[in-house]
Chain A
């Protein structure tokens, strides 16, 4: 009988392993109360908080019914861990939300920056285009002034603005004897004026084009006009104009500007044209 009682006591002691049920309950209540009072936990972990609440209520029920302290301690432990889980879950979700907000803000800043940068680039392009236009206008009016001066120097020169640029026309009589490709001494003044103009406009390139009337063999005329254009080029080079700025071509009787049926027309067709290219980049010549 004694042995039996002893056995029973041992059995009970095995179950009642943790007699600190009151402490465990108090600790669980405190942890849960703090969690439940935290607005972040209420807002971000309501489900976890509810689970902890139910868990604590169950522990309270067993505690109130004077259940085995080991069971009460166990239930209190579960409730306390669940309250902790609720608190940490709220922190986790708050951090997740903050990461999302920051990433969104970052994307917005990057987008804003790109929009600003594009606007700035567009403005730069517009400014550059405007400056380029202004410079082109200045160059054009400067050229017009120079040509006016050139024309007043040489009454024989006719200048007109075409889509190929400015075209200066010199009648052959001024420059060459009939059938010759050698410049007359009398051409000196005109060539000097032309060379002076080209030195003043160092960015300009010119095409010198020689033409004849339709009298005589076509090939002879073409060669003659070519040699004459080249002679003008050499004369300009001799007066200090860089050769690479001058392109000399002979077209013979092609591109007449007047009828070859009349003497006056033929005289007009026998000519040297100096084509002044529009601003650098655009092409000149035929």
Chain B
């Protein structure tokens, strides 16, 4: 990622920072980040239609911008948009799954109370 921990790391971070100030030209192509973003967006796409739709849209827009920046050779922008697209897509997926599970829970609980009512009505 962007750095590690500890004192040595701090120095490394400063070095990275220095690199980054000249970054606009020297950042390597973020192939991994872009691949991760693409994978996460395609995982979220089929589920996040109802819940997490906004977040999915953010992810898709950012992914498109990352792809564009990549083609233009603007690797820092490409990396930033790819990384954001990935977390946005992951968030969209989590929102969608959570909503789905909440609905399932409501359904199961409803079925449970219906069953309880029914069993109480039958004579013992």
Contact = CB atoms under 8 A, between A and B. Distances in A.
Contact of A67 (B20, B95, B97, B98): B20
B101 A99 contact: yes
B90 to A, nearest CB: 6
Contacts of A102: 105, 108-109, 112
B61 to A, nearest CB: 14
By DSSP majority rule, is chain B's interface helix, strand, loop, or mixed?
A: helix
A116 B84 CA distance: 58
Contacts of B5: 57
Q: Max chain B CB contacts within 10 Å: which of A65, A81, A84?
A: A81
Nearest to A81: B87
A102 B113 CA distance: 10
Given A62-B3, A74-B80, 18 more contacts: A15-B24, A58-B1, A61-B3, A61-B13, A65-B10, A65-B13, A74-B84, A77-B84, A78-B87, A81-B84, A92-B97, A92-B101, A96-B101, A99-B108, A109-B112, A109-B116, A116-B124, A120-B124
A89 B119 CA distance: 35
7 contacts: A11-B24, A61-B9, A74-B80, A81-B84, A88-B95, A95-B102, A98-B109
B23 A78 contact: no
A238 B83 CA distance: 108
Contact of B91 (A14, A88, A91, A117): A88
Nearest to A116: B124
A105 B87 contact: no
Interface of A: 11, 14-15, 57-58, 61-62, 65, 67-68, 70-71, 74-75, 77-78, 81-82, 84-85, 88-89, 91-92, 95-96, 98-99, 102-103, 105-106, 109-110, 113, 116-117, 120
A14 B101 CA distance: 43
A57 B21 CA distance: 21
B99 to A, nearest CB: 9
Contacts of A78: 83-84, 87
Q: Max chain B CB contacts within 10 Å: which of A67, A68, A96, A109?
A: A67
Given A99-B104, A103-B108, A58 B2 contact: yes
A61 B109 CA distance: 47
Closest 6 CB pairs of A and B: A95-B101, A81-B87, A92-B98, A88-B94, A102-B108, A67-B17
A110 B97 contact: no
B88 interface: yes
